[in-house]
Amino acid sequence: MLGPFHRLRGLFASNVFLLDGGRGDRWLVDTGHRLERAMLMAGLRATGFSPRDLTGVLLTHRHSDHAGNAAYLRRELGLRVHAHALDAAVLAGQAPKPPLVARSGDPLARLFAALENTTRTRVPVDVALEAGVSVAGLEVHHVPGHTEGSVFYRHAATGVLLSGDTLLAAVPPLTIEQRICLPHPDYAVDLDRAIASLRAFHAAGYPYRHLLAGHGRPILGDAREQALALLAAG
């Protein structure tokens, strides 16, 4: 636990975080892969909350390992789903889903990219987010490139940055090696744009200390410094 944030345990495909702002203000940041639905529910209960305690869903981006249970949570629990407008259009089937293109030569990464290309993730988005708004006490920052509508959520009060897959805390595709790293080239719609978004966010000087990424363990205390060093080395 980090302030109001809980990292749900037992999930392997991607991280899901619970933001506990108190009764009527409890949010899931991302929802995991639909094949891990049982683990998602068990992980939530392990935090001491039930699915009925949730207020809504905040998506960092539209990929199936992050948005895979959003439709279920919306349908079964009535949770309102929030995502950036550009990813919302893809999730609703109103815009085409650009295919991922294998670039790294890693056969496992190529396989996972192919699975994402054939996975149909659909959910009506109730609130289409834009850069500059706030939701659940989080600033929304548009960081396109990994997907068209990838976002950062910054919690200024605790110095937490929820980064989805635009800034990672483990090396894809297996995420066994735990360290800060850039988006994987096989999973980004536009890798150059994703890195440019990262640079622009950090150049703007937004402070944070702790990184809660879509993959990997939390990086606590010096996350921004690690990110700046990573960008300088690249």
Evaluate if residue 234 carries a pLDDT over 90.
no
SS3 content of the chain, % helix, strand, coil (to 5): 30, 20, 50
Strands in the chain per DSSP E: 5-7, 17-20, 26-29, 56-58, 80-84, 127-129, 134-135, 138-142, 151-155, 160-164, 210-213
Q: What is the pLDDT of residues 66-80, one digit of tens each?
A: 999 999 999 999 999
Q: 58 with 28: CB under 8 angstroms?
A: yes
pLDDT at 1: 84
Rounded distance between C-alpha atoms, residue 137 and residue 141, angstroms: 13
Residue type, 88: A
Q: 149 with 143: CB under 8 angstroms?
A: no
Using DSSP's 3-state secondary structure scheme, residue 3 falls into: coil
Domains along the chain with CATH numbers? 5-233 (3.60.15.10)
Question: Quick one: residue 103, left, alpha or beta (phi over 0 = left, psi -120 to 50 = alpha)?
Answer: alpha
Rounded distance between C-alpha atoms, residue 198 and residue 208, angstroms: 14
pLDDT at 181: 97
Rounded distance between C-alpha atoms, residue 164 and residue 183, angstroms: 10
Whether pTM > 0.95 for this model: the answer is yes
Using DSSP's 3-state secondary structure scheme, residue 118 falls into: helix
Q: What is the pLDDT of residues 138-178, one digit of tens each?
A: 999 999 999 999 999 999 999 999 999 999 999 999 999 99
